[in-house]
Every structure is written in structure tokens, then in C-alpha cells.
A and B are shown apart, each in its own frame.
Chain A
Amino acid sequence: MDATLGMAKTTETAGAPLIQSEINHATPVRARDVVVHYGTKQALFGVSIDIPERSVTAFIGPSGCGKSTFLRCINRMNDTIVGCKVTGKIELEGADIYDPSLDVVELRARVGMVFQKPNPFPKSIYDNVAYGPKIHGLAQSKSALDEIVHSSLRKAGLWNEVKDRLNEPGTGLSGGQQQRLCIARAIAVGPEVILMDEPCSALDPIATAIVEELIDELRENYTIVIVTHSMQQAARVSQKTAFFHLGKLIEEGKTEDIFTNPKHKQTQDYITGRIG
């Protein structure tokens, strides 16, 4: 089943160039030997991976395998968890993001995040999107801010649905719209990388399809890393897939290869539904 989907994907994107370009792409995010402890419990065992630019990288694996943990290392969201200790090296455009001199606020402006449950601020739709540009001082005037908000909503494919009610609360939207609002909010600050932590797990299939389509569009301009429980989703939206199991990165590679021709038995077992 997964294999067919993977094949479908290949034909759909119709691009031998895809594979070719992927190789040539720069890797904005490079992780080497990342180890994470929560207190005394070790959650990640030396993960090393390169995230290619302007493409979608999917992290798959059973619950508790560390894929979300690793995702949250990339914009240092794990800093907020008490007792969480990260060692190893993660580079963003060649700069170590765990360097003490690095400002985590700037890092998070460059590496945006979309969460599992849509979490718009209990403010208006406009204010939700305008919040990031405001705190990072990206807009010098009201009209510039308007422009950012409008273009972000357009990029998130939400503009037509909300243009007449920008002042209504963002929490009043449907689940899928809320999630796209969160994506609009993330891209409003012009990030290089967008991390998505199971962005569709709280959505119905139709909303999921819309968000997946959006992710596919966004990869033209952004480097996207997505954690997902759905292997179909990984096959549909990603160009690169990494399989995590028990805190270890078991296998990574082009999505087609992972789903059609996994090298490790564990990967094979997982994608055929035998473990997890």
C-alpha cells in the first residue's frame, strides 16, 4: 500500500529533476550526534542528519521514538522543558544553534514551528498573524504590517476564507482553518525553516488534504520538517524521510527509497505495520 503511494508520489511530482535537485540542494540544517536527556532518561541516542533546503523532510516512527524531541531541538523549544539536556551539534546555515552567544528569540524567528493541536492566540485573526512581525519589528508602518498579514494569509491559502472577518477571533475558525492560521502566523516572520509537529493529527481528512496541499506549495520557498504518524502522509508530502526507533535514527533517505526499498528490517516492519 505504502509502496504504491510512494510510486504515485513519484509520478505525480513528475520530476526526475526532483531527485537531481535534491542532491544539489544545500542543507541549511545539519545535526551531528545529537543526544537528549530528560532528567536521567535518555531520549535521543546520537542522531545525525542533514535537512535539505526547500523540500519536505518527514520524521516517522512509533510513539516515543524521539522524532518530536529531535524536531523540538531544531528551534530549541526543548529549552523550556525542565531537566532537558541537549548535547551534540545542530547547525543552522553553518552556525551552531546551541552556541551560548546565539539569541534564541532570533533563532525561533528563523525556524518557525507549527504544533500538533492548532493553537491560535485568543485574539483576532489579524492579530494572530501580526503578532510575530510586531515583536520582531518587521513592519515599520501599519500598511507594511497589513501587507505582511495579507500575504501570509494568502500563502497559507486562508485569505479567501477570512478576508472579510480579519477582526474576528482566530479561535472561532474550524480546526483546519486554525491550523492554516498557525502556518500563516509562522510564515509571517519570514522563517527559513518551518517545523511541523504532527500538524494534521487533530484534523479531519478534508482539512488534512488541504493542509498537505499547502505544505507541498510551501516547499517552494521554505525548508520544511514534518513529524507525522501517518506513513501515507509522509509518502504524499515529503521528499526525504527519516525513520526513528527508540531514540535512534534507524534510516534516512529519499522518501521513495524508504517506502519501496527500505534497507533496515525495522524500517520494513514499521512501514508494513508490523511494529509501532
Chain B
Amino acid sequence: MTESTIPGTGAAVAARPSSQAAAALRKRRYAADTRLRVAGLTAILAAVGMLGLLLWTIVSQGLPAFTQTHVRLDFPLSAELVDPADLEATNWRAVVTGGLNAALGETASPAQQRLLSQIITNNAQFIVRDAVRANPSLVGSSITLSVPAADPFDGLNKGQVLRDVPEANRRVSDAQIAWFDQLSAQGRVTAPFNWGLFFNADSRFPEMAGLAGAITGSFYLLLVCFLISFPVGIASAIYLEEFAPKNRWTDLIEVNINNLAAMPSIVYGLLGLAVFIQIFGAPRSAPLSGGLVLSLMVLPTIIISTRAALKAIPPSIREAALGMGASKHQVVMQHVLPLAMPGILTGTIIGMAQALGETAPLLLIGMNAFVTSPPGGILDASTSLPTQIFIWADSPERGFVSRTSAAIMVLLGFLLFMNAIAIYLRSKLERRW
């Protein structure tokens, strides 16, 4: 240390600027500080505002889909309409019309009958049929069921279909509105929580469409994806981090893994289509194919996060174990890997969340098919949450607008849940050295 660097002791210390100049300098410095802070704050506010706008749009559009207008009707099951010996041959449409007529009085012409039956869902006939099938002793009396109202009347009940629009410009006629009001006056119209949104599979009719197929499909997708990418990812990361020699080949592999993480996901879809489906004959639209593609996609994420977690284990732990005479695999399996697990799990959950939200590669392998029952396994055709959103967003019926937003809310809910687990794991298991 030389003396001149000690303030105030040597001549080499630069002369202090005059107090006026110092004040001006200070003022400029403060102004620059303030400008930077204001710019940062503005950026944050803009980002939060845009995010808020997005969320507000989704929630305000999606909330109505969480209730569904139902109409409670007494369906006559007289012997002349229903033959208990042959339920399949029954004209269930006539039973449904009978239920409407019983509530509103006889309507004359077949045309009017048809308009009347449009008030409740087209699937009402199947709902009644299934109820009778489950309880055949009801034949001869009647059955009281709440059936979903058809989409336009659901919209009417929720105020989405406006009564003051000229009749020609809306999907419900004045006569139908009158009937619906009459049913409403009788206390038959209710709007309970829409459990169908979670427990029904997809349907052409918005009032019957639900996410059961998409949620099951996404579950199978993630299962396949996890079972493949977790062990392969961790094993690759351990090899690259702990065993591989550092040479040009491993550098090349590392660069490629980092590049793969930034690859547009649709490319993985193309690869899945060309390889898994064309060459290996994996079934189209099935969670198996989708899961394979997604596992390729999240592998780089898992490998990179696992390597980072392994790298973060202090070398002193490795040295301690090696110095005790532990072999390389004992060091890795007994010390490094257990300590790195929280980081690895966090990375894996984030990778899974990424896979859950991925759409493009699934579109390419046909997971945007119209499937009306939840998949029974990884080989059945199915949709997934994001592709279901894609399908619904493409559907013309008014009811799918709010259902699309509702499905987005469900997807966001799952993503938030997974990220919350990742954050919890990180804070709970994280170790400070």
C-alpha cells in the first residue's frame, strides 16, 4: 500500500472540486437517479397494467361459464310413451317435448313444438333416457329433472342475449322468450354452479361441453412426459456434470442442449409427427405421442436445471466425501444428488408446467380432435387443456366464448398450483451453505 492512496495524507490525492461545482455535480447525479427510478417504475406499472387487463378480460369473460342455466321439468313417462321392455326404442324426444308441454300447456303446431324444444339442450333426451335407465321403476309415472338450458337461453338468462335487439338479429324468437319467461315465472329456471364444466367431456353444444376429457388428457400427457423426461434428464445431467470428460464433444452437446431449450416448440411437433407417428406408428391424437413430444421439449429444461442444481453443491462436500474414500458414484448418489434434489424438483415442475401449457406441437400430432369422451388410457384419442382452449376458441357458438375463457382460467389455475409447489419446495428445502 502506498501512502498517496490514503485520503488526505498525500499530495497525489486529486484536488477537490469547488463547492459550487460539487453541488451541480450532485444535483445532476440525483436527477439521473430519479430519472432511472421513474423509468423503472413506469415500466413496472405498464407491465402490471397489461397483465391486469389480460386477467380482467379472461375472468370477466370466463366467470359466467362457471354457472349454467338449468330448467327443471317433469317428464311424463306414461306407458304409451315409454316401453319398459325396450328403452332403446323409446322416442325420448317426445318425452322431452311432453315435459315442456306439461309445464307450458299444449302447443299446437309441430313447428311450434320444435321452437319450444330448442329452449333446453338437445341432449335432454339422453339425460332423461339415462335417468330412466338407472331407475326403470319410474315408468308409468313421471320424472323431475333439471336439464341444462340451450346455449342461447343460457345467454338470455345471463343477460348476454339482449331482449331489446330486433327479433331478426337475435338467435331467440319473441315466442321463445315468452315461453322461457313463463318457465322462469314458475320457478323452474335455476343457475347452479356448472359442475359439467369439469365433469363433462367435449360436446358440440356449449351447455353440455366440459373439460373432463381435456383434464384427463393433460394428466396422461404429463404422466408420459414425466416418466420419460425425469429419469432421462437427470441421468444425462449427472453424466454431463459429474462424469463426462470436458472436451470438444461434450462442449458440442452442451451447446446443442442450450439451443434445444430455445427451439420453437412446433418443430418438436413436426419431429413427433415424422418420427413417432410415421416411423414408429404411435397412435395419432393420443397422450402417448403427445407425451413423447413434450418430453423431448422439456428435456433441455430439466437437464439445464439439474446441472445448475448439481453445480450449486459446494465442492467442499464432494471433497469431504472423496477424502473419506467414497467412490465417484457414492459421492454422486449419497451426497450430491440428495442435496441437489430440491433444485432438480423445482426445475422439473417448471418443465412440467411448460409442458402443460404447450399447444403447438400437440396441434401437429392431432390432439385438437373432437373427442366426446375422456381418454381411458395413454393410447386413446384425446385433447389436452390448451388444445381444448384452441378448439373452443374456434367454435362459433356464443356459449364457447365464455367457456374458452373459463378453460383458460382452469389452465392458469393448474399452472399457478404447480408453480406454487415449485416455490414452496424451493423455500422449504433450500439449504444455505
Interface residues of A (CB under 8 A from B): 75, 77, 80, 82, 105-109, 112-113, 115, 117, 119-122, 131-132, 135-136, 182, 185-186, 189
Contact B316 A117 (CB under 8 A): yes
Given contacts A108-B324, A135-B324, 15 further A-B contacts (CB under 8 A): A75-B323, A77-B323, A80-B322, A109-B325, A113-B323, A117-B316, A119-B317, A121-B317, A121-B320, A121-B321, A131-B321, A132-B325, A135-B326, A182-B320, A189-B324
What 6 A-B pairs come out closest when comparing CB atoms?
A: A108-B325, A113-B323, A119-B316, A109-B325, A119-B320, A132-B324
Contact B320 A105 (CB under 8 A): no
Give which listed residue, A105, A112, A115, A131, contacts B316 with CB less than 8 A: A115
Most buried by A among B246, B320, B431: B320
List chain A residues, Cβ under 8 A from B431.
Answer: 122
B5–chain A nearest beta-carbon distance, Å = 22
* B-side interface mostly: helix
Report if A135-B330 is in contact (Cβ < 8 Å); known contacts: A112-B323, A113-B323, A122-B431. Answer: yes
Of chain A, the residue at the smallest CB distance from B320 is A119
How far is B314's CA from A136's CA once the two chains are assembled, in angstroms?
A: 24
List chain A residues, Cβ under 8 A from B317.
Answer: 119, 121-122
Give which listed residue, A119, A121, A135, contacts B325 with CB less than 8 A: A135
Number of A-B contacts defined by CB within 8 Å? 58
Interface residues of B (CB under 8 A from A): 246, 314, 316-327, 330, 335, 339, 431
Report if A82-B320 is in contact (Cβ < 8 Å); known contacts: A122-B339, A189-B325. Answer: no
B238–chain A nearest beta-carbon distance, Å = 16
Report if A105-B246 is in contact (Cβ < 8 Å); known contacts: A77-B322, A120-B320, A121-B317. Answer: no
Contact A106 B319 (CB under 8 A): no
List chain B residues, Cβ under 8 A from A186.
Answer: 323-324
How far is B322's CA from A121's CA once the two chains are assembled, in angstroms?
A: 12
How far is B322's CA from A135's CA once the two chains are assembled, in angstroms?
A: 11
B316–chain A nearest beta-carbon distance, Å = 4
Of chain B, the residue at the smallest CB distance from A112 is B323
Report if A108-B320 is in contact (Cβ < 8 Å); known contacts: A122-B431, A135-B330. Answer: no
How far is B339's CA from A119's CA once the two chains are assembled, in angstroms?
A: 14
Most buried by B among A107, A131, A189: A131
How far is B409's CA from A83's CA once the two chains are assembled, in angstroms?
A: 54
How far is B324's CA from A107's CA once the two chains are assembled, in angstroms?
A: 10
Contact A185 B316 (CB under 8 A): no
How far is B339's CA from A120's CA once the two chains are assembled, in angstroms?
A: 13
Pull 14 A–B residue pairs with CB atoms less than 8 Å apart, ordered by A: A80-B318, A105-B325, A109-B324, A120-B320, A121-B320, A122-B317, A122-B339, A122-B431, A132-B324, A135-B324, A135-B326, A136-B325, A185-B324, A189-B324
List chain A residues, Cβ under 8 A from B335.
Answer: 121
A235–chain B nearest beta-carbon distance, Å = 27
Contact A108 B339 (CB under 8 A): no
How far is B320's CA from A75's CA once the two chains are assembled, in angstroms?
A: 13
How far is B325's CA from A262's CA once the two chains are assembled, in angstroms?
A: 38
Most buried by B among A105, A117, A119, A122: A119
List chain A residues, Cβ under 8 A from B324.
Answer: 108-109, 112, 131-132, 135, 185-186, 189
